[in-house]
Amino acid sequence: MIGLLLCAAIVSGLPDDDLAVSRRKVIADDGVALALYRYSPLATGRPPVLLIADFGFGRSAFDWHGAGLARWLARHGRTVYVAEVRGQGKASVAGWTPAEVLQYDLPAIAAAIPEPTFEVVAHGWAGTLALAASVKEWKGRVGKVVSLSTPAEFMVPSRLALAVLKNGGKIASLGGDPEGAHIFELLFAMNGLFSRDQLSSLRSEMVTDFGPRASRALLQWMTSGDLTLGTGESLKARLKAYDRPTIQFLGLANGWANPELCGVLREVSAAKVKLRVFSRFDYLSEDYSHLSLLQGENAPREIFAHALKFLNEDAP
């Protein structure tokens, strides 16, 4: 048994009459407590969708005071699970590494989902691990995948990102002064359409610091160009076997999971990857950044709708 389901509790009284939201505490094999939220619509005939946010973000990336992909998908008839792996939201631990997330957390999360198969929305660097999990830890359980800027080639995204990681990955503290806020915007929210207050509250309340151990591990992953998994495998080698039907959305203004690092997924994997690069020339309201892909003012119309259309298409 990879993980142990400890308890289920109704946690949400948020205003969706037909939407029950519950949280489960899931314990990974190494004892770390994770969180799994379930959004249950009244009627659904499709597989559930598991949402994995990038490191430093958590459930709130998909459900920010009622706004976001979790409730949007649920309102469109999908059962939705949102995972919080170590370092995210309720699952925060003092130190973590990406390899541990893949080795312990993702198997435990999947074990806590009762449905035999599920679809995945994967975001950012943590999302890349979800893609990798579909090859082994989640083998046979994953249907389609929506990739929201999941890197498939690994390098430090920018000099600014390097400086932030070298400084312990204090991304939640970036809003403390104008310079920090500017850095946050360049990395995660460049040219995004948020109201000023919304971005400010997203920055201060949604994001979690990586901490020194995770920062070192992320930096090692990015600078070495690969990640050694707990099994001793290479992540790049694992991704070669990735074969899930995938649609990949890339924001041109993404400064954390750069589109050029993500777009190579179709080159390095066995998957059939449908690509959409979003930019303002595409009659879209913005060029889309790491955060606005999830919480941009027009994301429901310009991003979520395309994701759902893909998920609802019958497999060829």
Partner 1 sequence: MRAAVIALLLCGCATFHWQPLPATAQAHRAKTADGWELAMVRYPATVPSTGRPVLLVHGIAANARNMDLDEHHSLARWLASQGREAWTLSLRGTGDSDEADGKDRKSGYSFDAFWQLDLPAAVDFVRAMTGAESVDYVGHSMGGMVLYAYLSQGGQGIHAGATLGSPTKLDWGTNSEAMIEKGFGFVPDGWALWTAVGAHAVVGLQGLQAEGPFERLFYVTGNTTVESWKRLIAYGTADISGGVASQFVKLVVTANFVSADGEKDFRRDLAHVTTPVMVVAARLDRLALTPAVYDGYRALGGPKEWLLISRANGALAEYGHMDLVVGERASTEVWTPVLQFFNRHAAKDHP
Query: Binding partner 1 by CB under 8 A: which of 4, 160, 172, 181?
Result: 160
Query: Binding partner 1 by CB under 8 A: which of 30, 115, 205, 282?
Result: 282
Query: Binding partner 1 by CB under 8 A: which of 92, 198, 279, 298?
Result: 279
Binding mask 104-143 for partner 1 (x = CB under 8 A): ----------------------------------------
Contact predicate 1/104, CB 8 Å? no
Phi and psi of 146, rounded to 5°?
A: -105, 115
CA atoms of 131 and 200, how far apart (whole Å): 31
CB of 238 to partner 1, least distance (A): 19
Helix (H, G, I), strand (E, B) or coil at 89: helix
Closest CA to 69 of 210, 196, 204, 249: 249
CA atoms of 148 and 312, how far apart (whole Å): 17
Query: Binding partner 1 by CB under 8 A: which of 16, 29, 153, 233?
Result: 153
The total of other beta-carbon atoms located within 10 Å of residue 150's CB is 29
Contact predicate 200/178, CB 8 Å? no
Q: Of residues 183-222, which lie at the interface with partner 1 (CB under 8 A)?
A: 186-187, 190-191
Q: Of residues 247-276, which lie at the interface with partner 1 (CB under 8 A)?
A: 250, 252-253, 255, 258-264, 267, 274-276
Length of the chain measured in residues: 316
CA atoms of 20 and 14, how far apart (whole Å): 9
Residue entry with tokens 């999990």: 133
Size of the site for partner 1 (CB under 8 A): 32
**Which of 84/185 has CB closer to partner 1?**
185
CB of 168 to partner 1, least distance (A): 18
Q: Which residues bind partner 1 (CB under 8 A)?
A: 153, 157-161, 186-187, 190-191, 250, 252-253, 255, 258-264, 267, 274-277, 279-283, 287
